[in-house]
A and B are shown apart, each in its own frame.
Chain A
Amino acid sequence: MIAIIDYGAGNIFSVKNALDYLGFENKLTDKKEDLEKADALILPGVGAFPWAMNMLKVSGLIDTIKEQAKLKPFLGICLGMQLLFEKSYEFEECKGLSLIGGYVDKITDPGLVIPHMGWNKLEFNHNCKLFDGLGEDEYVYFVHSYKAFVDDKNLYAYSTYGSKVPAVVSDGDFVYGCQFHPEKSGKTGLKILENFADLSR
């Protein structure tokens, strides 16, 4: 079972719909026991970083998330990816989950439309199991105004919008993050989600 962590952030139903469509057993949950029992975890999220971290605190799940992310496949999506880093500067400096080194800050390249919204091409940086079966010309759907600043070793794929926008990050072990929405990225996104879910088998 894949647990989709429900801490009150954004449209989590689309992640559930995608997993249902792909035929993976899943559960929207805010219960510690479910996170411990699950074969893999997904941390979704839409909204602002400090607000989401606060919601996670209120949910009482932070310690469980940090502990479980060392034990089983873990995927943060969009804001859920940004929460994986050490800190963010959205509105104010705010600590994240520190599962991957790096921080999150505003996209500031001049002349760009913000938010970075729409379909952008994935540029692959390192091999990753999430990319199994993908071709060269894959587009995914982004909606965000802040981006991750991360070491090359943790950067698995990026898109170009002014400069490099981290698209897929990983700690090289169990923790993965997608800045784009795989659940809204058509066939490419479904393949990435399927690859992730397969890691738990």
Chain B
Amino acid sequence: MLAKRIIPCLDVRDGKVVKGVNFEGIKEVGDPVECAYEYNLQGADEIVFYDITASHEGRGVMLDVVRETAKKVFVPLTVGGGIKTVDDIRETLRAGADKVSVNSQAVQNPQLIKDGADIFGSQCICVGVDAKAIGDKKWTVFINGGRIDMKIDLIDWVKKCEQLGAGEICLNSIDTDGVRGGFDIDMLKAVVDAVKIPVIASGGAGKLSDFADAFIKTDCSAALAASLFHFKELTVGQVKDDCRSKGIIVR
């Protein structure tokens, strides 16, 4: 049986880990290589670096972070943010990432998913999706860190991602992100039911039981959180112990 994955995410800007609430009010919280190493010791199943740097120089710094991390952290590394072209994907994988996560760029240019999957394999293409409810069991896809509503139906979009060759969906609910009231179970369920590829729950983890809750109430494959782990409110190990005690298979 595959274990459910617990994935800490590090938002990185100009080589520093930062954290904001609802995509705004950003503050610095540490060194990404050290944070990744610490998560690795805690038993993280995978580590995501999300690059929120806009500049070209910042991308180079991000790749250095990946290179350094890959020398001492031996679990899969995913890099998201600012990946616009096949060359960006190639560069990121060469730096030592195992997967890339494409988000806004994929919405604006879905061909990027197909090209990436054809060249590097579906397993390295994760599509990050930011979505928000617009009515009962209806959601639309947003881009640019949740600022622009693309008026695309979430379910149509994730099905299209799968068809284009995405290996995984990382689903972030804008409604629950940073609110810490638990993952967006309704949204998560709808997406898990719509696709066969693994779905990562993101946005909203606020307490220990939120992770097990997502695994019990939906068939998601993994759960991701940032601030809870950053601020050391919980360790990955504690989350796994809680899941294990509820009969969920974790590493």
Residues of A within 8 A of B (CB): 11, 13-14, 17-18, 20-21, 46-47, 113-121, 139, 141, 143, 160-161, 183-186, 189-190
Contacting pair A141 B76 (CB below 8 A): yes
Closest B residue to A140 by beta carbon equals B251
Instruction: Name the CB-closest residue of B to A13.
Output: B96
Chain B residues contacting A116 (CB-CB under 8 Å) are 2
Given contacts A14-B96, A118-B5, A120-B3, A190 and B221 within 8 Å (CB-CB): no
- Count residues on chain B whose CB falls below 8 Å from chain A CBs: 28
Query: Which of these, B70, B71, B98, B221, contacts A113 with CB under 8 Å?
Result: B221
CA distance A195 to B96 in the complex (A): 24
Closest to A185 in B: B74
Distance in angstroms between the alpha carbons of A161 and B99 in the assembled complex:
22
Q: How far is the CA of A178 from the CA of B222 in the complex (A)?
A: 24
A11-B96, A17-B96 known; A117 vs B198 contact (CB < 8 Å): yes
Contact A119 B251 (CB under 8 A): yes
- B222 → chain A, closest Cβ, in Å? 8
Query: Pick the contact of A14 from B45, B70, B222 — CB < 8 Å?
Result: B70
Report the bound CA distance from A113 to B71 in whole Å: 31
Q: How far is the CA of A139 from the CA of B75 in the complex (A)?
A: 12
Q: A11-B93, A139-B251, A143-B123 are in contact. Are A118 and B221 (CB under 8 A)?
A: yes
Chain B, range 90-123, C-beta contacts under 8 Å to A: 93-94, 96, 98, 121-123
B72: A residues at CB distance < 8 A: 21
B58-88: CB near A (< 8 Å → 1, else 0) gives: 0000000000001110111000000000000
Query: Are B74 and A21 in contact, with the CB atoms below 8 A?
Result: yes
Do A47 and B74 contact each other (CB < 8 Å), given the known contacts A11-B98, A115-B167?
no
Q: B74 contacts A118, CB within 8 Å?
A: no
**Chain B 22-58 per-residue mask, 1 if CB under 8 angstroms from chain A, else 0:** 0000000000000000001001010000000000000
Q: Are A184 and B123 in contact (CB under 8 A)?
A: no
Chain B residues whose C-beta falls within 8 Å of the C-beta of A17 in the assembled complex: 70-71, 74, 96
Q: Which residues of B contact A186 (CB under 8 A)?
A: 40, 43, 74-75, 251
Q: Does B168 contact A (CB under 8 A)?
A: yes
- Taking CB as reference atom, which chain B residue is nearest A120? B2
Can you offer 9 A-B residue contacts whose CB atoms are under 8 A? A21-B71, A118-B2, A118-B222, A119-B3, A119-B45, A143-B98, A184-B75, A186-B40, A189-B74
CB contacts (< 8 Å) of A20 on chain B: these are: 71
Residue from B96, B167, B251 with most neighbouring chain A CB atoms (10 Å): B251
Asked if B196 is an interface residue, CB under 8 A from chain A, the answer is yes
Contact yes or no, A184 B167, CB < 8 A: no
